Amino acid sequence: MAAKRALVTGITGQDGTYLAELLLAKGYQVFGLIRGQNNPKRAMIEQMLPGVELVEGDLTDMSSLLSTLEYSRPDEVYNLGAISFVKLSFSQPELTGNVTGLGALRLLEAVRIIDGGKGHIRFYQASSSEMFGKVRETPQDELTAFHPRSPYGVAKVYAHYMTMNYRESYGLYACSGIAFNHESERRGHEFVTRKITSSVARISLGLQKDLTLGNVDAARDWGHAADFVEAFWLMLQQQSPDDYVVATGETHTVRDFLDLAFAEIGIDDWAPLVKKDARFMRPAEVDLLVGDASKARQVLGWTPKVSFADLVKRMVAADIEIEKARKA
Ligand code: NDP
Ligand code: GDR
């Protein structure tokens, strides 16, 4: 039987790399959408994922999406591409709407056109717990009402409903994974977990004195990205398409993360090392998120493997190695 073919947007991002590794290990032929002229992450991806064929295109450019689909002829399309940093979405709301919101619509429309009603191409949309925002109930599940608190959250709600709409209108096999925060050794440095672990590593090596953060009382349901991409893949392997919450079911504050991260380098009282700055606060905050992933557990048989404590431990250890190598 011919190998299955998958197209991944957001291939240069955290989830893109883990998902591509999973798909390659399962024998897929993997295509990754890469944007821009001379994308600085191209070399890193080519080195890390030599089995992935990169195809140039952009979620804001419909014709590039059509030609990418024509070229790659995928069985499965994973739409992970987005402006994904919530803070940035406040300063660049139109760009966020265009990429994170309309980008999903363009890709759905391109899939509909290229699929031509055959129902062959399966589609995954990277929805987010940020759609719950100012939460209506705790924990949050697939039926919890949305109340997004950022241009990013609003754009994701649009993309989420568009995915549902294409499923209901055109019979597309289209799923959304409502993923709660997932982190890793590959997490971007703009996100709070990686900002903390790389700073902790640098502090331990005498390369940095302190760390400046915003709201350390925010609580998130944090898992490991390698676990989460498995759920994304499982969603596209079912009899029928549906939406699923992907979460660990545990919530921890940024303070808890700081406790564990600093404990890794033998510091119990981190307060003198962490400064607060309004620049890292958001115009509207999401205070608490915790997901109920019972449906994913029951239908997909999915459970996360990496605990919160292990996640922090792994991230700090990896950053210490990176910083040591840099220092050397
Ligand atoms: P990253 O920020 O690490 O990656 C985002 C990806 O989107 C990058 O590959 C980026 O490419 C790409 N991208 C940005 N703009 C465009 C564009 N105009 N056209 C094509 N691609 C573009 O995100 P993650 O890997 O963490 O997340 C993957 C997806 O899951 C995102 O949609 C995110 O919103 C969503 N999500 C993530 C969660 C998490 O906790 N990680 C939780 C819930 C949802 P480039 O490198 O060129 O900038
Ligand atoms: P989030 O992740 O907004 O949840 O979105 P982020 O790590 O940016 O923030 C988490 C919480 O930490 C607080 N915080 C800070 N955040 C950052 N980035 N930098 C700081 O200095 C800082 N200080 C405190 C934030 O206010 C927030 O409450 C992530 C992204 O991956 C989204 O794409 C995804 O959809 C959601 O997770 C689920």
Atom in ligand 1 nearest the alpha carbon of residue 180? 42
**φ, ψ dihedrals at 173, nearest 5°:** -80, 90
If you measure from the C-alpha of residue 126 to the centroid of ligand 1, how many angstroms do you get, rounded to a whole number? 9
Catalytic residue list contains 124 = no
pTM of the model: 0.98
**φ, ψ dihedrals at 304, nearest 5°:** -75, 150
Question: What residues of the chain score a pLDDT lower than 70?
Answer: none
Report the alpha-carbon distance of residue 306 to residue 310 in Å, rounded: 6
Any alpha helices (H) in 205-263, and if so which ranges?
A: 225-235, 254-263
Residues 185-195 have pLDDT tens digits of 999 999 999 99
From the CB of 204, is ligand 2 less than 6 Å away? Answer: no
Q: Which amino acid is at 76?
A: E
* pLDDT value of position 149: 98
Q: 193 by DSSP, 3-state: which?
A: helix
* pLDDT value of position 328: 85
All residues at 6 or more sequence positions from 57 whose CB lies less than 8 Å from its CB, including other chains: 33, 34, 35, 64, 65, 67, 68
If you measure from the C-alpha of residue 212 to the centroid of ligand 2, how many angstroms do you get, rounded to a whole number? 14
* Domains of the chain as residue ranges with CATH: 5-182+222-246 (3.40.50.720), 188-220+250-289+307-327 (3.90.25.10)
Report the alpha-carbon distance of residue 313 to residue 121 in Å, rounded: 39
